[in-house]
Amino acid sequence: MMTRSLLLTILLFAAVPPSAGRDEVSAAAQDKTRIDVTGTWSFQVATSAGSGTPTVTFKQAGETLTGHYSSSNLGEADLTGTVRGRDIAFKFIGTVQGMSVDVAYTGTIESNDTMKGTLDIGGLAQGTFTGKRQ
């Protein structure tokens, strides 16, 4: 009888949902791993039309990304984008030989200081990039 009573007590405690204290600890741990790309980044870009080393400045607010893109190939432009988990995407309007082109970057944030992915320059050229926080 004592064994049955002990077994029932164990089962009852196993079915109790986690306490608020454990939830708070879990939320704090998630905050420490939250990604924030705010800052200045150096990119290495290789495309079917050539390569470049743009500088990108990001400002992140939640999942919303704003900033500025600067390169000798595509000029200066403000950018908009998103960060969702480890996925990053941003776009801007660049200038190629006096013409405006839509430029889109999509990638993965590998750590607080590195990212990599692909880009498309108005359907005219595609390529890859790596980025490092300065």
Task: Give the tens place of pLDDT for each residue, 54-70.
Answer: 999 999 999 999 999 99
Six token digits for residue 124: 């005219």
pLDDT mean over 111-119: 97
Q: Domain range holding 105?
A: 36-133
pTM over the 0.85 mark: no
Confidence label for 10 from pLDDT (cuts 50, 70 and 90): very low
Confidence label for 34 from pLDDT (cuts 50, 70 and 90): confident
Inter-CA distances, 103 with 76, 100, 121, Å: 12, 9, 5
DSSP the chain: -HHHHHHHHHHHHHTSPPPHHHHHHHHHHHHHH-----EEEEEEEEETTEEE--EEEEEEETTEEEEEEEETTTEEEEEEEEEETTEEEEEEEEEETTEEEEEEEEEEEEETTEEEEEEEETTTEEEEEEEEE-
CATH code for the domain of 76: 2.40.128.120
For the cut 70, the answer to whether the pLDDT of residue 91 exceeds it is yes
Query: What percentage of residues in the chain have a pLDDT greater than 90?
Result: 72
Six token digits for residue 16: 């109790």
Confidence label for 26 from pLDDT (cuts 50, 70 and 90): very low
Whether residue 122 contacts residue 101, with contact meaning beta carbons closer than 8 Å, is answered with: yes
For the cut 50, the answer to whether the pLDDT of residue 6 exceeds it is no
Q: Which pLDDT does position 23 carry in this prediction?
A: 52
Of 13-22, 43-52, 76-85, 97-106, minimum mean pLDDT range: 13-22
β-partners of residue 76 are: 70
Count how many domains the chain has. Answer: 2
- d(CA 69, CA 44) in angstroms, rounded, equals 13
In this structure, the answer to whether residues 26 and 47 fall within a common structural domain is no
In this structure, the answer to whether residues 28 and 60 fall within a common structural domain is no
Compute the mean pLDDT over every residue in the chain, rounded to the nearest whole number. Answer: 85
In this structure, the answer to whether residues 120 and 79 fall within a common structural domain is yes
In this structure, the answer to whether residues 9 and 48 fall within a common structural domain is no
- d(CA 85, CA 80) in angstroms, rounded, equals 17
In this structure, the answer to whether residues 28 and 87 fall within a common structural domain is no
Six token digits for residue 91: 């776009």
In this structure, the answer to whether residues 21 and 61 fall within a common structural domain is no
